Amino acid sequence: MSKRVAIVTGGSRGIGRESAQRLAADGLAVVVNYAGNVTEAEATVAAITDAGGEAIAFRADVADAEQAEALFDAAESTFGGVDVVVNAAGVMHLSTVADLDLDAFDRMVRTNVRGTFVIARQAARRVRDGGAVITFSSSQVGLRTETYGPYAATKAAVETLSLVLARELRGRDITVNAVAPGPTATALFLNGKDEATIDRFKAIAPLQRLGTPSDVADLVSFLAGPSRWINGQVIRTNGGAI
């Protein structure tokens, strides 16, 4: 088999970028998927290659079936196949159920639910035996914090899809797990929050801090590599918040 290869969606920033860099450090060739910010995607690739790794950037809307297929095509034509898929692409709009704009809800459903499904469909068809599929949920599915309801609903769908897919891939030695971060210091989480709000989130976990992208990337690395007996699980990486 050629070198192991990972596709990381949403790989230009935040948890996706940290996961891409961590997998490259683990020895995988990485396809860094991005939706629009080519500068950030190229910065991720540069960080990987400067450290001696292999990576390319590839633009694709994860919810577009043809673009998702092209993303997997690029991984196969450049590096020879796909062994690991990390679907970290996601969007979040916070609002009470009563006040959420339906266009914002539709955008979350399109990226978080449809996007996860479209990428999972390609992964089910094309990940090589012995590989791993890692989706992203959220600890908000369990925390149920006010204004997170619509976002958490999309992530609950991701959890169900992931656990079913794990069973559908029976016999191929492919693991499927959902990572569910708690409050994590990313631009997506920090945007629009004042210091008092951030402090309240820090206090939720017994470790009394926000998670970091590298905390989550540690788990992604484990699920993508040495862990072969964890399958069909939702793993909450949140410092004990729930």
User: Tens digits of per-residue pLDDT, 180-212?
Assistant: 999 999 887 888 889 999 999 999 999 999 999
Residue range 225-229: mean pLDDT, rounded = 94
Give the per-residue pLDDT at 191: 82
DSSP 131-195: -EEEEE--THHHH--TT-HHHHHHHHHHHHHHHHHHHHTTTS--EEEEEEE-SB-SHHHHTT--H
What does the block give as tokens for 191? 């945007």
Q: How far apart are CA 124 and CA 188, in angstroms?
A: 28
CB 111 within 8 A of CB 89: yes
Q: Which residues pair with 33 in a beta bridge?
A: 58
Whole-structure pTM value: 0.95
Kindly state the helix (H) or strand (E) to which residue 223 belongs, with its residue range. Answer: helix 213-224
* Residue given tokens 């996860």 in the structure block: 116
Model confidence over 55-113: pLDDT tens digits?
Answer: 999 999 999 999 999 999 999 999 999 999 999 999 999 999 999 999 999 999 999 99
> For 26-134, where are the alpha helices, taking DSSP H only?
38-50, 65-79, 102-108, 115-126
Give the per-residue pLDDT at 97: 97
At residue 234 the predicted structure's pLDDT band, cuts being 50, 70 and 90, is very high
**Radius of gyration over alpha carbons of the chain, in Å?**
17
CB 18 within 8 A of CB 216: yes
Give the per-residue pLDDT at 181: 96
CB 202 within 8 A of CB 174: no
Q: How far apart are CA 124 and CA 165, in angstroms?
A: 8
Query: Which amino acid would we find at residue 47?
Result: A
| More confident: 191 or 117 | 117
Q: How far apart are CA 213 and CA 184, in angstroms?
A: 7
At residue 241 the predicted structure's pLDDT band, cuts being 50, 70 and 90, is very high
Give the per-residue pLDDT at 187: 81
What domains are defined for the chain? 5-184+214-237 (3.40.50.720)
57 three-class SS? strand
Q: Which residues pair with 94 in a beta bridge?
A: none
Give the per-residue pLDDT at 133: 98
Give the per-residue pLDDT at 100: 96
166, 112, 119: which is closest to 8 by C-alpha? 119
Q: Report, as residue numbers or ranges, the catalytic residues.
A: 151
Give the per-residue pLDDT at 192: 83
Q: Please say if the pLDDT value at position 13 is more than 80.
A: yes
Model confidence over 118-173: pLDDT tens digits?
Answer: 999 999 999 999 999 999 999 999 999 999 999 999 999 999 999 999 999 999 99
Q: How far apart are CA 116 and CA 114, in angstroms?
A: 5
Query: Which amino acid would we find at residue 154?
Result: T
Q: How far apart are CA 16 and CA 10, in angstroms?
A: 5
